[in-house]
Structure 1
């Protein structure tokens, strides 16, 4: 036998095997195009049954100043009703000066109020944008201890005390994209704006703001400092009072100081010269509440907490739901080379005619529940949901978006490989639709904030459960593997 030739042959075979394995490993990072074809000779395909049920989720996510705030009402025949109100403080654009361009307090009689308008920067919608939404605006009267700028408030925070209604508006979200005239009167044709909701308020709110001065001792020194201003004027509440049809949520950016403003249009006379102008007040501090209250109903409520139901109902946060998943078959799965392991969740076709109104979440999130005394011990799939050097997360490889086949898929290849090869813990999984989630990344040894949705309370979906008759529709774990 030619041992030299045999050595060359073995070395060549080693290189082929080495680079083939490299390709297989890369497929978990780069996508499915490098996964070997299932031929049932070298590469195999199997499906493991899951155990699953859905439950209410006690979400603790808190509102950040950069979050878009929901406003409106929805009536969903599958999931029930929801209502969203907004509470927020306002600040003067400058302190130490009087914003109404007159010599206070001797010259206030020269002030003539034309109008008061609350302008809100519109960013997006969920639901029926043709629905007519009714909202009212009132001043916050809750004590400062109950509403302040040092607390971050949960999205499911309850209502706080307010005074009488200062103004109201009925509108359809579809119309907010149209350009509208911004000003006092029809002759102000030069200034137009789009994507704003403008609500005319009672002039009494302007009279209150005019009564403040710049003193630190008068008891009315609202323009002395931001803290005294917000002590005297605690802010505004914008509440949804009704909505036609199925309703909708509009999303507004309170921190967009160019478009979210309380505007007082006025005329003042100084030295016999009349000036027609405005004073603006903006939101600039962490003092906001987006109170979103849900009343579960329909099939969603009827099938709650049922083990292995035919259908699973996922409602986005806050006060939404999650699907708890267990994969007992992984504990006995033999040691194999895992080319691809993915959780597949198929969307149930719409039977109510409202899926085009109440659309599925743009992305679902899958994480791991770790046995612990802490009730919120949740871990990311740190080996599958890779964190980039800039802190970004590779959702393209991990999955979670609804595909053209009406299925959500999650790539957990490395997680499954760790269980079957290194006998790592087989955790319970959680499938849900948060705005964001705080998950522990073991490889970083720290918690990371994982963004998921653009808007709070945006989306709901019905998925097939693990016990549905059609195996191709079941919630399942699919594994593509080779023998060692």
Structure 2
């Protein structure tokens, strides 16, 4: 009942918000209808913006549906990124012994193979990295989490190395492969296969039916796998993304057993069934230009280093905005230009930048008042209208209705936050405290860009306004 009431209140808030936005959009004109600046009846002005750069405290959680980032990426502009995944795989059907009648029927194990469904990568396709698989320590506390673990969670303790795949060339992860499964030849694509130790396989096959009776009983006896990258990998310049929930991710036992009194070959798959999982991601900017900018980021900056989650944000202040007298706003655009960085072609920009407002009085972030219209159906918004898409090496955000509210109705002029989040949940302005969770950039860790700050001598971040006097 509480969830239903919350959903209804959320929908009502969106409807009221949309209606209010429609009422105030009388000053918004299409780009081809904005009158020409003649300095007689139509004027323009550019307001200075003070920009500061900070690390972004990241509360991102990776759910079981989300692509997990695994790899090491050394970016000359932003530093090093490390991603490791933790996963529990279980029999497709719980409640019975999954390898036949009982452990006594097992003759031997031929191989145990972990398959991970590859989705994409970010960075250098010529990266060569070695994947290491460890058993998660029984004392680690790793378990199923309905809301997912924070990407900033400490690494879980591990025990033995149980498998490895060395010198994987990332651009080959999307290649087709074939292998035998009993007597069938399997052909597949986008799959990383890692051979695990037979001793681990025999350990799992020796568990009796009481351990396989429930998920929790199995987890008490086996926590799962940690998948990490070897620090000694040859070329550490990319992150690979794998989907655990996809059918291509599984653990396959190839074994021999007695069936109906006769030796028989068989396979059994363990799968990820929304089980325990985590994706721990760390950024280390030490020694990079980004580290210098962050360290000196509290003054007005020439360059803003914006990195996708877990990353950074720029705090924007527009002192003159609150003092503008009443006027008719035809156009107001917050604009910043892209600044070239090191190896931008290998480490491209995020899909979108996002802008919200700092509601310090209520200790929260809100959507830009009168400007941001949420897409309730799809849990998103129209970036082509609101802004944040790189075009002609420039980012722009529509601000006309926000500025009109300030100059005409004396609404509050907020400090603004510019960033490139994976996910964010600002509260919807002009509503009764309803947050709006949206995915802005996916997958996690993909994307970084350098843009001009307010102190840039050549291309300042600025607020440009076209208006008429009243």
Q: TM-score, normalised by structure 2?
A: 0.89
2:306 matches 1:314: yes
2:282 matches 1:293: yes
Gaps of 5+ in 1: 1-21, 215-220
Which residue number corresponds to residue 385 of structure 2? 397
Give the direction of change, closer, same or farther, for the CA distance of 1:283–1:303 in structure 2 (3 Å limit): same
Task: Name the CA distance, whole Å, in 2 between partners of 1:60 and 1:386.
Answer: 24
| Pairwise CA distance, 1:151 | 5.6
**What are the equivalent positions in structure 2 for 1:71-110 lying under 5 Å apart?**
71-101=70-100, 103-108=101-106, 110=107
Which residue number corresponds to residue 16 of structure 2? none
Task: Name the CA distance, whole Å, in 1 between partners of 2:422 and 2:382.
Answer: 17
Match of 1:456 among 444, 449, 466: 444
Between the two proteins, the alignment pairs up a number of residues equal to: 442
SS at match of 1:231: helix
SS at match of 2:150: coil
Match of 1:325 among 316, 332, 338: 316
Contact 1:114 1:184 in 2 (8 A): no
Which residue number corresponds to residue 476 of structure 1? 462
Looking at CA atoms only, which structure, 1 or 2, has the larger radius of gyration? 1
2:202 matches 1:212: no
**What are the equivalent positions in structure 2 for 1:65-464 lying under 5 Å apart?**
65-101=64-100, 103-108=101-106, 110=107, 112-143=108-139, 145-150=141-146, 152-169=148-165, 170-183=167-180, 190-214=185-209, 221-242=210-231, 243-245=233-235, 247-256=237-246, 258-285=247-274, 287-297=276-286, 298-304=288-294, 305-318=297-310, 320-350=311-341, 352=342, 354-372=343-361, 374=363, 377-390=364-377, 391-403=379-391, 405-445=392-432, 446-464=434-452
Task: Name the CA distance, whole Å, in 1 between partners of 2:435 and 2:256.
Answer: 54
- Of stretches 78-87 and 436-445 in structure 1, the one that deviates more from structure 2 is 436-445
Task: Name the CA distance, whole Å, in 2 between partners of 1:67 and 1:145.
Answer: 22
| Pairwise CA distance, 1:480 | 1.7
Contact 2:181 2:267 in 1 (8 A): no
Task: Name the CA distance, whole Å, in 2 between partners of 1:84 and 1:407.
Answer: 30
* Residue deviations 1:277-325 (CA, integer Å, cap 9, x gap): 311111223522111111113111112224112211111111x111000
| Pairwise CA distance, 1:208 | 1.6
* Residue deviations 1:34-91 (CA, integer Å, cap 9, x gap): 4333333333222110001101111111111121110000111221111110011122
SS at match of 1:314: strand
Give the direction of change, closer, same or farther, for the CA distance of 1:246–1:336 in structure 2 (3 Å limit): farther
Task: Name the CA distance, whole Å, in 1 between partners of 2:27 and 2:327.
Answer: 16
Give the direction of change, closer, same or farther, for the CA distance of 1:408–1:209 in structure 2 (3 Å limit): same
Which residue number corresponds to residue 59 of structure 2? 60
Task: Name the CA distance, whole Å, in 2 between partners of 1:456 and 1:175.
Answer: 21
Contact 1:142 1:160 in 2 (8 A): no
- Of stretches 202-211 and 30-39 in structure 1, the one that deviates more from structure 2 is 30-39
Task: Name the CA distance, whole Å, in 2 between partners of 1:116 and 1:434.
Answer: 38
| Pairwise CA distance, 1:335 | 1.1
SS at match of 2:389: strand
Structure 1 runs of 4+ off > 6 angstroms? none
| Pairwise CA distance, 1:269 | 2.5
* Residue deviations 1:386-443 (CA, integer Å, cap 9, x gap): 123524422220011111x101111122111111111111111011111110110033
Q: TM-score, normalised by structure 1?
A: 0.86
Give the direction of change, closer, same or farther, for the CA distance of 1:223–1:339 in structure 2 (3 Å limit): same
Gaps of 5+ in 2: 1-21
Give the direction of change, closer, same or farther, for the CA distance of 1:224–1:144 in structure 2 (3 Å limit): farther
SS at match of 2:204: helix
Contact 1:435 1:454 in 2 (8 A): yes
